[in-house]
Amino acid sequence: MQQLLNYFKGMAMGAADVVPGVSGGTIAFITGILEPLLDGIKKINPSLLGVIKQQGIKAAFMHINGPFLVAVFGGILTSIFSLAKLISWLLTNHPVPVWSFFFGLILFSVVHMLRQVSSINLLRCVLFVFGVAFAWFITVLNPIELDAGYLNFFFAGCIAICAMILPGISGSFILLLLGLYPAVLAAAKGFDVLLLACFAMGCVVGLLSFSHVLSAMLRKFHDETLLFLTGLMLGTLGKIWPWKEVLTWRENSKGEQVPLTEQNLSPMQFEQLTGESSQLAAAVICLLVGIGLVWGLEIFGQRHAEKADS
């Protein structure tokens, strides 16, 4: 039952990772699986060969918390391959409700993470502000256009996977900045084995290296790290604001016109400039659903912790 729950949490991470601007690491944090996820991943190192040699493969599998990792990554992969088409369609045809849902989810996630901080001081406030500024700076960068080659897919996997497990920074958005998001999504839809293998190898390399860094930071500088990560989350909210006006366009590798730079609008401005409905009622409902989902996960996590303690 527990591993089935972890599988669904992994699916939630995968669904978030598909959306540019939303971090799977945020979902991992609010569902309480980020730290055990990092702990399991960082145990996959050369010393694992010694465990296999002395105690066998089964013991090594349990040493890295294998059932947990299989359940979570199984859920992530299920979402990426099954939801890629659906989320792409929703973002194209119903962008305002989708972005509103994720806006509410991340907004309340910021509140959730701030509650985990035991105390505030000047250094922690500075780290929080720096996190906001750094995330905002990334969101206003203009995308570049890299060729969808095997080597670029490998390095993109290295970079994107670090962002995917880092609360606040979206791996999909990093791919978007690199100009490889459509190519990776197309590879997932078309199941291009070679390109996906290169991307997966990059993900493995990035994951095994970065997990050690993030795990150590959370262990040694817990509150400081949390405030910086919370700042990252808050700084990305402008990117996923539902109502936008496209200022400039660019041509992607397929010859399609896609947004290059955008500016945020109020719902009223959006209606005036685009002539389209702001879908305000639907947006508010989806915003509240996103907030309610995080709130529910928070309550569930507290009750689960209380049962574990008792």
pLDDT class for 106, splitting at 50, 70, 90? Answer: confident
Q: Give the SS3 label for residue 31.
A: coil
Termini Cα distance of the chain: 19
Q: How far apart are CA 157 and CA 270, in angstroms?
A: 36
Mean pLDDT for all residues in the chain: 83
Single-letter residue type at 195: L
Q: Which two tokens stand for residue 270?
A: 């959006």
Question: Which of 119-133, 134-148, 218-232, 277-291 bottoms out in mean pLDDT, i.e. has the lowest?
Answer: 134-148
Q: How far apart are CA 200 and CA 155, in angstroms?
A: 10
Q: Give the SS3 label for residue 261.
A: strand
pTM, rounded to two decimals? 0.76
On the question of pLDDT at 254 being above 60, the answer is: no
**pLDDT single digits (tens) 54-89:** 888 888 999 899 899 999 999 988 887 787 778 778
Look at 66 and 239; give whichever has higher pLDDT.
66
Question: Are the C-beta atoms of 143 and 179 separated by less than 8 Å?
Answer: yes
Mean pLDDT along residues 275-283: 91
Mean pLDDT along residues 1-9: 85
How many distinct helices (H) and strands (E) make up the chain?
Answer: 15, 2
